[in-house]
């Protein structure tokens, strides 16, 4: 179980990040994405964390295949589950940010109780492009994740396909992720805006 303040192995980089971090991966080729995502998941499983993957376009077998090639036979048990992204983010059929955040906190609490060292999630965000109800609240959700550090020392990676999201959207996405992966390397995101400031701007523009 990772305690707040500890540093976390990301898997795909030698850089060690704080125990709680929220990363966006903006990618434009599958090979690069696969390498980063699979190593990210593998690092969590190796550390004894409870790992969740929210898949939108990638088949579960393919994801387990990535891990198998790395010598990790992922069991479909509580330690690692691949869940359909739409169900994970929109369990009631629409995105309700607080609902998803509460689920994440509850998941972390349960994992902590049964002895997992931490909680790690990775999500494909393309589901947002399908106009699912509530998807316009995505940034609200992303900001929310950055606001619950204390009770939820969470490690998460959001995948954004630069070939599908427009530049303005990506600019905003960058503003809600403290860390970003650029050219395969984790960097502290200069576009990141503190949640309160971002929310204020968001509400002002709304």
Partner 1 sequence: MVEANGQQNDQSQGWQKADARILGQILAAQNVVFALPDTIHIAEFYAQTLLSIPGIIGCRVCLGNKSIQVGEMQNSVCGACETLRSMDEKEHILAPVDSNFQCNLMGQSDIRIITIDSYQHHFGFFVSRINNTAAFDVYHPFIHNLSSYVAVILENRLQKDWLQKARDELERKVEDRTHDLMVANEELDAARLAALDSVQEAVEARQRIEQANTDLQREAIERKHVEEALRASEQKLEEAARIAHVGYWERDFVAESITLSDEACQIFGLPLQNRLPKLAEWHVQWLNLIHPEDQPRVTQILTDALAGGPPYNVDYRVVRPDGEVRNIHSYAELIRDELGKPLRMFGTMIDITERKRTEEEIRRLNQELEQRVVERTFQLESANKELEAFAYSVSHDLRAPLRHIDGFIALLQNQTASVLDDQSQHYMDMIAESAKKMGFLIDDLLSFSRMGRNDMVESQVDLNELVREVVQEARPETEGRNIRWEIASLPVVTGDRAMLKVVLTNLISNALKFTRPRQQAEIEIGCVPDQKEEVGVFVRDNGVGFNMDYVDKLFGVFQRLHRADEFEGTGIGLANVRRIISRHGGRTWAESEIDHGTTIYFSLPKSNA
Question: Which residues are registered as beta bridge partners of 22?
Answer: 156
Out of 5, 130, 167, 203, the only residue in the binding site for partner 1 (CB under 8 A) is 167
* Structural tokens at position 187: 């960097």
Whole-Å CA distances, 31 to 6, 35, 58, 98, 149? 30, 6, 13, 33, 32
Binding mask 118-157 for partner 1 (x = CB under 8 A): ----------------------------------------
Task: Give the other-Cβ count within 10 Å of 86's Cβ.
Answer: 17
Does position 191 interact with partner 1 (CB under 8 A)? The reply is: yes
Q: How far apart are CA 131 and CA 53, in angstroms?
A: 21
Angle separating helix axes 195-205 and 138-145, nearest 10 degrees: 160
Residue 19 within binding range of partner 1, rule CB under 8 A: no
Q: Residue 168 CB, nearest distance to partner 1 (Å)?
A: 4
* β partners of residue 182: 185
The one among 180, 186, 195, 202 contacting partner 1 by CB under 8 A? 180
Stretch that binds partner 1, among 72-80, 90-98, 138-146, 181-189 (CB under 8 A): 181-189
CA distance 116 to 110: 9
CB of 101 to partner 1, least distance (A): 26
Tokens linked to 126:
């393309």
- Out of 7, 28, 30, 69, the residue judged to bind partner 1 by CB under 8 A: 28
Site for partner 1, rule CB under 8 A = 26-28, 162-163, 165-168, 170-172, 174, 180, 182-183, 187-191
């Amino acid at each position: 179980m990772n305690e707040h303040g500890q540093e976390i192995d990301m898997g795909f980089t030698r850089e060690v990040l704080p125990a709680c971090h929220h990363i966006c991966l903006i990618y434009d080729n599958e090979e690069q994405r696969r390498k980063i995502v699979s190593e990210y998941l593998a690092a969590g499983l190796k550390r004894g964390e409870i790992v969740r993957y929210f898949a939108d376009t990638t088949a579960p077998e393919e994801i387990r295949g990535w891990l198998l090639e790395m010598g990790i036979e992922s069991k479909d048990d509580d330690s690692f589950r691949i869940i359909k992204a739409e169900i994970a983010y929109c369990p009631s059929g629409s995105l309700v940010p607080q609902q998803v955040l509460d689920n994440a906190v509850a998941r972390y609490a349960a994992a902590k109780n049964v002895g997992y060292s931490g909680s790690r999630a990775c999500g494909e965000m393309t589901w947002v492009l399908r106009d699912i109800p509530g998807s316009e609240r995505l940034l609200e959700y992303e900001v929310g994740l950055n606001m619950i550090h204390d009770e939820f020392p969470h490690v998460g990676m959001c995948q954004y396909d630069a070939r599908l999201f427009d530049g303005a959207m990506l600019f905003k996405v960058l503003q809600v992720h403290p860390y970003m992966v650029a050219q395969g390397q984790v960097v502290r995101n200069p576009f990141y805006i503190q949640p309160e400031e971002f929310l204020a701007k968001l509400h002002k523009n709304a």
